[in-house]
């Protein structure tokens, strides 16, 4: 059992969306005490640059990472923003004009001992950590983040490690700025993963959520719309699941054919919001009129 949430402001303007998505996740904290995370879109708008969050075991490795990056591109800014469980989160902005070079660079950085790139983004800021939403929100100042739309997650671990990297959202670098938060299990995970690997996808974990984000990115890369990609996932994926995809232009949710994982929607003139439970929607909208997402249904809102 995990909690998922997403919100879009329809006017495309920047709002205090960090406060909204944080409150939504705090309301469903009971669904996942292990870790939590956010992808907040719109407040970060980089051109030929990427915001990296890199987890390292000590400060001594940071100059080595900087030297590597500067041989491939250019660091414009870098600093340690947080420490957790004897590790540090090093954040930097990297100038990189050729997107095809991003994934190879990430792999080289990950080759350092006890170093892992948590994310690299242009249009969104990813924040995720172990522990409760309230603690994470305080450490990373999420309630003051501005944006146009966001997705979030509270995790109850049913597979893989409880650490920052395995916290949701998950990201893929097949396309820019695609993220996912997920509640459930993909029971034909290995079948789907095998097909994707045959098409050139490389997986970093055995977590089925990573498979989801690769699947959707693969469909988008082939020219399908977000709605079409979600609809195909309903047909191709087995198991109990509901998940939210975030893109630069909006969010979408898909629910398994048997309806075994919850999902509800609230919408008005200003926002479109989705979550696992109504109590989450109540933090951002009047829930007099809410809609339950039907089994096998998908919903998309793009701005």
**Residues noted as catalytic:** 2
**Taking the chain, what is the end-to-end CA distance rounded to the nearest angstrom?**
30
Alpha-helix runs per DSSP H in 111-224? 133-140, 189-198, 208-221
Q: Torsion over CA of 40, 44, 47 and 48, rounded to 10 degrees?
A: -60
Q: What is the largest CA-CA distance in the chain?
A: 57
Burial group, residue 63, by CB count within 10 angstroms (0-12, 13-18, 19+): exposed
User: Do 23 and 285 contact (CB within 8 A), yes or no?
Assistant: no
Ranges assigned E (strand) in 17-175: 35-41, 49-56, 74-84, 87-95, 116-121, 124-130, 149-155, 170-172
User: Do 39 and 118 contact (CB within 8 A), yes or no?
Assistant: no
* Nearest CA-CA partner of 245 in 17, 10, 41, 19: 41
Residues written for the chain: 303
Structure tokens at 90: 């090093």
Chain centroid to CA 154: how far? Answer: 12
Helix (H) or strand (E) holding 181: strand 178-184
Structure tokens at 287: 């829930």
Number of other residues whose CB lies within 10 A of the CB of residue 134 = 13
């Amino acid at each position: 059992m995990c909690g998922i949430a997403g919100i879009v402001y329809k006017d495309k303007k920047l709002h205090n969306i960090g406060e909204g998505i944080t409150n939504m996740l705090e309301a469903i904290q009971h669904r996942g005490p292990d870790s939590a995370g956010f992808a907040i879109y719109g407040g970060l708008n980089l051109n030929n640059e990427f915001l990296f969050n890199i987890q390292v075991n000590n400060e001594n490795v940071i100059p080595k990472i900087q030297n590597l990056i500067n041989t491939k591109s250019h660091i414009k800014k870098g600093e340690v923003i947080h420490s957790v469980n004897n590790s540090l989160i090093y954040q930097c902005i990297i100038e990189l004009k050729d997107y095809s070079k991003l994934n190879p660079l990430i792999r080289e950085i990950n080759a350092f001992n006890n170093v892992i790139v948590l994310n690299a983004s242009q249009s969104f800021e990813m924040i995720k950590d172990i522990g409760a939403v309230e603690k994470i929100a305080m450490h990373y100042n999420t309630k003051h983040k501005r944006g146009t739309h966001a997705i979030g997650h509270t995790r109850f671990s049913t597979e893989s490690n409880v650490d920052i990297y395995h916290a949701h959202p998950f990201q893929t670098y097949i396309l820019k700025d695609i993220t996912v938060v997920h509640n459930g299990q993909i029971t034909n995970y290995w079948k789907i993963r095998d097909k994707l690997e045959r098409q050139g996808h490389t997986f970093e974990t055995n977590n089925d959520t990573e498979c989801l984000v690769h699947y959707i990115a693969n469909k988008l890369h082939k020219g399908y719309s977000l709605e079409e990609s979600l609809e195909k996932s309903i047909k191709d994926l087995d198991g109990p699941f509901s998940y939210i995809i975030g893109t630069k232009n909006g969010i979408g949710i898909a629910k398994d054919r048997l309806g075994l994982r919850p999902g509800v929607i609230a919408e008005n003139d200003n926002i479109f919001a989705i979550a696992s439970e109504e109590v989450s929607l109540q933090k951002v909208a009047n829930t007099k009129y809410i809609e339950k997402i039907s089994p096998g249904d998908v919903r998309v809102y793009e701005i």
